[in-house]
């Protein structure tokens, strides 16, 4: 039980929303451990002559300053919940480096076996710091090691008996090489940790998006159900009144409005996406897209559709019903925007993605649509509902992908769906 608590206390937390906050919290806890270690070693150092009456006071003062500094750090950035920056983390590690260098100079320099802590501190900085801060800290560590070496050569009795020969010079240079290797290995580990933290954040964001989609689907289903019955009642009574007054313009306009409401409710039902309901099957992608576009063109014979499909990807696991609905929505939007313009359906692939694009060669998106893409009921068409592109984006997000709008020229616009193929194979299992 005690061992488990100690392990949890000195482990680097991954639950903090701010990674720099977690790093500083970890440094503070490790520093308490080092302070306790230095206090415990003081009597042994004095008994062995490493510390004497001229240095024991300075040694104690340095530990006291480090104790107060750590206490202030914990109070200012944890008790008062201040924002932690990467520069602050680098400053904290630099203070530790200065203190460690001073203590080593006081206690024998390279003759002190704990000079290896310089390499540990270098590795810690390389792991926690990124970019130029890591390189700056490496230079500071080399300078600290050089100061310790210099003190040892000129002031330590053991090293004063040696001549500065080739063997000794090589030994001192090798220490700097080892320091550089320790930094490089730890920097690689730090990059890996940062990558994993970013992936974890992406997973959390994806899970939150799925939860919002499910909540939206439930709300939309309830909304459609509640409105369907009253609309049917109104529709039946309007039909009865129209039979009695077939020439009434007001009644005809009212019935047309009812049909528009029904169309909106139908689109809202179609835009409901709960990824848990997706049925993933392996399909030949090009064949599937050709079948969808051909079927859509049969219903819209005046439309001109050109397909440019990549042969790189042969098959993939897809939620075919939802994929088909997304493509049909894109074709409908392109055709309704400019019925006499060509529509280009294109696919390209990279190592991890299938990119499906639908290009309208006759019109562009307004700046308002580009800026507010993703909002429901956003449309510039007089008879549009603003749910077509919205449901396309929901589909892309629900499978871990993204959707983009682009104006290619003054009379050309494109919608792209980026589908992460590598994740689709396991997405259904993850959702269940």
Is residue 140 over pLDDT 90? yes
Q: Model confidence over 178-236: pLDDT tens digits?
A: 999 999 999 998 888 888 777 777 667 666 666 665 566 566 666 666 666 777 777 77
162, 195, 214 - which closes a domain: 162
How many domains are contained in the chain?
A: 2
Count CA atoms closer than 13 A to 240's CA, side-chain side.
6
The answer to whether residues 150 and 285 belong to one domain is no
Taking residues 168-184, what's their average pLDDT?
A: 87
Higher per-residue pLDDT: 226 or 30: 30
User: pLDDT-derived band of residue 11, with 50, 70 and 90 as boundaries?
Assistant: low
Q: What percent of the chain has a predicted confidence (pLDDT) above 90?
A: 10
User: pLDDT-derived band of residue 428, with 50, 70 and 90 as boundaries?
Assistant: very low
The answer to whether residues 10 and 156 belong to one domain is yes
The answer to whether residues 142 and 289 belong to one domain is no
- Within a domain: 129: yes
User: pLDDT-derived band of residue 431, with 50, 70 and 90 as boundaries?
Assistant: very low
CATH number of the domain within which 427 lies:
3.30.565.10
The answer to whether residues 151 and 293 belong to one domain is no
Return the pLDDT at 176.
Answer: 92
* Whether this model's pTM surpasses 0.85: no
Return the pLDDT at 432.
Answer: 43
Q: Model confidence over 347-360: pLDDT tens digits?
A: 888 777 888 888 88
Is residue 266 over pLDDT 50? yes
Taking residues 16-41, what's their average pLDDT?
A: 83
- Within a domain: 420: yes
Where do we find the tokens 């006291």? 64
- Within a domain: 173: no
Return the pLDDT at 427.
Answer: 44
Return the pLDDT at 139.
Answer: 94
The answer to whether residues 137 and 280 belong to one domain is no
Return the pLDDT at 67.
Answer: 92
- Within a domain: 212: no
65: CB partners within 8 A, 6+ apart: 99
Return the pLDDT at 15.
Answer: 47
The answer to whether residues 152 and 283 belong to one domain is no
Higher per-residue pLDDT: 286 or 398: 286
Return the pLDDT at 410.
Answer: 75
The answer to whether residues 153 and 279 belong to one domain is no
162, 186, 213 - which closes a domain: 162
| C-alpha to C-alpha distances, 167 to 74, 147, 150, 172, 174, nearest whole angstrom | 46, 19, 16, 9, 11
Mean of the per-residue pLDDT values of the chain: 77
- Within a domain: 241: no
The answer to whether residues 154 and 12 belong to one domain is yes
Taking residues 19-44, what's their average pLDDT?
A: 86
- Within a domain: 187: no
Residues 120 and 166: beta-carbon distance below 8 Å: no
- Within a domain: 348: yes
- Within a domain: 336: yes
d(CA 266, CA 113): 77
Higher per-residue pLDDT: 95 or 378: 95
134, 162, 190 - which closes a domain: 162
Where do we find the tokens 């994806």? 206
User: pLDDT-derived band of residue 22, with 50, 70 and 90 as boundaries?
Assistant: confident
Q: Please give the residue range of the domain that contains residue 330.
A: 275-431
Q: Model confidence over 239-256: pLDDT tens digits?
A: 777 777 877 777 777 777
Q: Do β-strands 342-349 and 304-308 pair in parallel, antiparallel, or remain unpaired?
A: parallel
User: pLDDT-derived band of residue 91, with 50, 70 and 90 as boundaries?
Assistant: very high
Residues 279 and 320: beta-carbon distance below 8 Å: yes
């Amino acid at each position: 039980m005690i061992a488990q608590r100690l392990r949890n206390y000195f482990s680097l937390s991954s639950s903090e929303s701010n990674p720099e906050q977690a790093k500083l919290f970890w440094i503070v806890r490790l520093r308490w451990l080092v302070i306790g270690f230095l206090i415990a070693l003081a009597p042994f150092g004095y008994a062995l002559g490493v510390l004497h009456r001229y240095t024991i006071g300075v040694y104690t003062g340095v530990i006291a300053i480090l104790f107060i500094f750590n206490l202030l750090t914990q109070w200012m950035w944890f008790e008062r919940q201040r924002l932690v920056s990467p520069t602050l983390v680098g400053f904290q590690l630099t203070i530790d480096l200065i203190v460690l260098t001073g203590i080593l100079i006081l206690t024998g320099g390279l003759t002190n076996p704990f000079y290896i802590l310089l390499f540990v501190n270098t590795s810690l900085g390389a792991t926690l710091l990124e970019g130029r801060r890591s390189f700056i800290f490496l230079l500071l560590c080399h300078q600290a090691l050089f100061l310790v070496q210099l003190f040892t050569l000129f002031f330590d009795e053991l090293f004063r008996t040696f001549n500065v020969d080739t063997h000794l010079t090589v030994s001192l240079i090798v220490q700097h090489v080892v320091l550089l290797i320790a930094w490089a290995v730890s920097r690689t580990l730090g990059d890996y940790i940062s990558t994993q933290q970013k992936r974890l954040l992406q997973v959390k964001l994806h899970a939150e998006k799925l939860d919002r989609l499910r909540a939206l689907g439930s709300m939309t289903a309830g909304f459609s159900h509640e409105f369907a019955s009253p609309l049917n009642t109104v529709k039946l009574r309007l039909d009865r009144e129209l039979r009695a007054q077939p020439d009434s313009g007001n009644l005809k306009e009212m019935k047309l409005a009812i049909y528009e409401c029904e169309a909106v409710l139908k689109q809202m039902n179609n835009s409901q996406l709960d990824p848990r309901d997706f049925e993933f099957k392996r399909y030949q992608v090009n064949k599937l897209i050709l079948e969808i576009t051909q079927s859509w063109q049969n219903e819209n014979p005046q439309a001109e559709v050109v397909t440019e499909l990549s042969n790189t990807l042969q098959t993939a696991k897809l939620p075919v019903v939802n994929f088909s609905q997304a493509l049909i929505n894109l074709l409908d939007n392109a055709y309704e925007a400019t019925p006499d313009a060509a529509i280009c359906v294109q696919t390209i692939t990279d190592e991890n993605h299938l990119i499906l694009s639908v290009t309208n060669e006759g019109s562009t998106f307004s700046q308002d649509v580009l800026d507010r893409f993703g909002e429901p009921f956003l449309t510039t068409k007089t008879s549009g509902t603003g749910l077509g592109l919205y449901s396309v984006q929901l589909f892309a997000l629900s499978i871990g992908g993204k959707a983009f709008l682009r104006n290619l020229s003054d009379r050309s616009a494109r919608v792209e769906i980026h589908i992460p193929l590598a994740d689709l194979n396991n997405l259904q299992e993850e959702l269940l």
